[in-house]
Amino acid sequence: MRNQLIARWGTQLIVSSVTIAVGMLWENSRIIATETAQAEEKEPDIELTVIDKLLNEPVFSPFRREGTVKDSTRPVYVITGEEMEAQGVRTVREALRFLPGILGDGTVGTEVNALSGQFIRGSNTGQVLILLDGRPINNLGGGGFDLSEFTTNNIERVEVLPGGGSTLYGSDAIGGVINIVTRRPTEQITTETKVNFGSYGLNQQSIQNSGKSGDISWVVGYNRTQAQNNYRFTIPEANFEGTRTNNDALYNNFNVKLEANLGKRNTLTLSTLYLGKEQGVPGGVPIPFPQFGQGFFNSLTENNRKYTDQVLTDLTWNSKLGSGDDSLLTARVYADFLNTRFDNRSGAITSQNRFDTKQDSYGIQVTHNWNVAKNKTLVYGFDYRNTNVRNTTFNYGTSITRENYDDAIGQGAIFGRYEINFSPSFSMNLGVRQDFSSLVNGSFTSPSVGAKFAVSDATTIRANYIRNFRAPTIANLFNNNPTNIGNPDLKPEQGDSFDVGIDQKLGNIGLLRLTFFSNRVSDTIAFKRLTPPVNGNTGTWENIGLVQTTGIEASLNLQLARNVYAFVNYTANDPRILASANPAEVDKELRFAGADKLNLGVSYENPQGWYFGVLMNSLNGYPTNNINTEFLSGYTTFDLKMRVPISDSLVLTGSLDNLFDQRYQLFPGFPDGGRVFQVGLSSRF
């Protein structure tokens, strides 16, 4: 109850503060505008570009075509490659930290290789769809995708679309969509190199070459990232103090993109990413109390290792139909090969195992974007994806390999989205998708509707509804491990996402975006223990539970003076369990997903590329179990960032993160890395 009151009063305080700030800033903007007009002959106006910069940011995920933030009825948040460089971001997981709408901190640490965890509007990581250049890459064996696998040297931007996206993208989009957009070739032949050094043995090098020759253009790159992450830490709940060991990581990532112009109206693009990573798995400190609590079964593992070896490749053909620029056909075929090996070499030889997972995915996407008229746009097409996953366990003591599952899922769909601008101030969109699946209960219909109304030049109101779903994973359905037997009769998880919001320009100095949302998920797939065991099986999965999340996403961006910017964003989540097989969970907060998040930042940026910023990230406390008897404390960190051009082709970057050395845990018994620094030098020629 105390945490509920804190969250409620915190939400009211933030909303009240934003309201007061809006009024003050609005009045100040009128005064500034009047004074500026009077002094026009004496000095030029301040260049105020923050509103245009935000609203004209290119995005793909809300439309399944190229568009801008201002065109969308949905709230969508973007971080660009330039912003990632200025913030010292090393992986896509880290890029999400200061964006509203998402709780993107890892759940087992703050290192460069820390396992990614995404929580959007009360959903878990498996309920967030990950796209690579607009196509799905989620792991259909166990669910989700680890965003720490992607280093940022080849990333143009990352988009976060809260509120689901099944109408355009199908399964796994219950909570939201994250779209990773890779770099396009440059017109001039350009080479970029970067070296980066930092705390705990961080050592990073990357090189990218991009250019065009005749009708062929390319991007080719390589990134190597290494770190030891052997820091000191304490876990007071376990009376433990020591040094983190077996926490090293080594990345070797390659990227290739080749683009050919086949005449003036056709292009063919081949894109391939290789993501290779080896890392130690240090485990966590056992938490003795409460008995059988979230951290009770932790163990520190000095010999456990994890290896990932992933290839993501696609071939895309774009063709402008007819003789104009109002009809674009996009056809894509893709193939992904995801291999993961986990070596558990702790304890007696009879308990040491190797777990191997191999996933092969083959897919087709065909999309037609057609401007039917000046005020009407139709996007339609079909998708197909076939995924086979094989999971085995090898015991080092007996040398016996056991197959846990080796099965496939075929998913096909037809979809359409129609958008009409009734007037310059009012637009609507209607969408529907029908998914077909090889699963008995896997087919699903996903409608959506959105509207946007410009009350004035400064104020726009928007509203959306989306029906979403998530098909069970292959492990949920077909696992043959005695402790986790699959249930082939599982139904998809189902979700309804509503939001209503306002975009308010504050004179010429800023933009306030405020969104109220409700996200409802039913038929939640949860693990069920079988007591007594049935045919030797001790557990399975079943459809149980209903969760409804209500909350606020607020984002305020300002230009305070020439080259001086500030931002505030606040995300409030209240995920309530409305139905569960366990009565003790009813009306409780869903674990991990209910933290409220506050980000602040002030920066100096100029057209010459200089950047100095102070950024704050704050998370309040949250429960770690569904009966809300165990909690983790919140934390607040401050980071210093800089980017200094030394010459036209040489740039120095640096950051000091967690300035005040705030120590905290993201999962019971798993520590953070404390204060860290990094310094980088990049060149472009």
pLDDT tens per residue, range 226-236: 999 999 999 99
CB-neighbour burial class of residue 250 (10 A; exposed 0-12, middle 13-18, buried 19+):
middle
Specify the 3-state DSSP secondary structure of 5.
helix
Residue 508 C-alpha from the chain's centroid: 31
Ranges 206-210, 528-532, 649-653: which has the least confidence: 528-532
pLDDT at 533 (0 to 100): 80
The CA-CA-CA angle for residues 594, 567, 178, to 5°, reads 50
- Evaluated on CA atoms 469, 475, 478, 481, the torsion sign reads negative
Q: With a cut of 90, say whether residue 195 has pLDDT above it.
A: yes
Among 412, 416, 411, 409, smallest CA distance to 431 is for: 416
pLDDT at 31 over 50: no
With beta carbons less than 8 A apart as the criterion, state whether 122 and 176 touch: no
Full-model pTM: 0.92
Token digits for 334?
């893709």
Q: What is the pLDDT of residue 545?
A: 85
Alpha-helical runs (H) found in 295-438: none
pLDDT tens digits, one per residue of 488-538: 888 899 999 999 999 999 998 999 999 999 999 999 888 887 777 877 788
SS3 label, residue 216 = strand
- Burial of 499 per CB tally in 10 Å (0-12, 13-18, 19+): buried
Asked whether 115 and 177 are in contact (CB, 8 A), the reply is: no
pLDDT digits (tens, 9 = 90+) for 76-108: 999 999 999 999 999 999 999 999 999 877 566
Q: Which residue has the tokens 């007996």?
A: 398
Only one residue has tokens 């992607």, namely: 150
**Stretch 575-580: mean pLDDT, rounded?**
93
Q: What average pLDDT does this structure show over 536-551?
A: 88
Q: What whole-number distance in Å separates Cα of residue 48 and Cα of residue 104?
A: 31
Is-contact 343 351, C-beta < 8 A? no
CB 624 within 8 Å of CB 666: no
Q: What is the chain's mean pLDDT, rounded?
A: 90
For the cut 60, the answer to whether the pLDDT of residue 561 exceeds it is: yes
Contacts of 456 (CB under 8 A, 6+ apart): none
- In the structure, what pLDDT confidence band is assigned to residue 543 with cuts at 50, 70 and 90? confident
In angstroms, the CA 198 to CA 655 distance is 9
| Locus of tokens 């037997």 | 485
pLDDT at 83: 95
- Alpha-carbon 73 to chain mean position: 20
End-to-end CA distance of the chain: 59
Q: What is the mean pLDDT of residues 323-340?
A: 96
Tell me if 356 sits within 8 A of 402, measured CB to CB: no
Q: What is the pLDDT of residue 107?
A: 62
What is the C-alpha separation between 513 and 29, in angstroms, rounded?
18
Return the top range by mean pLDDT from 43-47, 54-58, 524-528: 54-58
Q: How far apart are CA 424 and CA 419, in angstroms?
A: 13
Mean pLDDT of 599-617: 96
pLDDT-based confidence at 441, cuts 50/70/90?
confident
Q: Given a cut of 50, is residue 28 above it in pLDDT? A: no
